[in-house]
Amino acid sequence: MNAFQLIALGVLALLCTLTVSAGIRGNVRKRIVAFWLLVWSGSAMVLIWPQTTAVVARALGIGRGADLLLYVSVLGMLTAFFYVYTRFRRLDRQITLLVRRLAIENPALPENADSDTAAPARGAPQP
């Protein structure tokens, strides 16, 4: 085993520890913890036995294991970007609806709305 493999396995062990710790604290859902542990374990397996990617790639009709990893990575990133984008849009819509509801329930009209001069802001010094 070369130095890169040792360092990468150490990093993966740290990531596994942090993932499990976040799951125990309740910061991350259990299925997300399981997903990331599967990713870290798969990465460790590929680091220990790099020829497995070539075997799987050939079985799928892809020439090299590195190409397989690239394709899987790109598909994974596109899926993650789409998920984050849809979640962001949903949160944006929820915030908009909440702000509208609060604005309707608590209208902030100036005290002298029909006078020529606008009322000073709260806390502003009076002339």
The domain locations on the chain are 1-49, 63-105
pLDDT-based confidence at residue 1 (cuts at 50, 70, 90): confident
Q: Is the pLDDT reported for residue 25 higher than 90?
A: yes
Q: At 109, which amino acid appears?
A: L
DSSP designation for 125: P
Structure tokens given for 67:
């190409």
pLDDT-based confidence at residue 108 (cuts at 50, 70, 90): confident
Structure tokens given for 4:
């890169």
**Predicted confidence (pLDDT) per residue in 67-93, tens digit:** 999 999 999 999 999 999 999 999 999
Instruction: Please tell me the distance from the alpha carbon of residue 56 to that of residue 65, in angstroms, as a whole number.
Output: 7
> Percentage of the chain surpassing pLDDT 90?
79
Structure tokens given for 74:
């790109």
- Tell me the whole-structure pTM to 2 decimals: 0.65
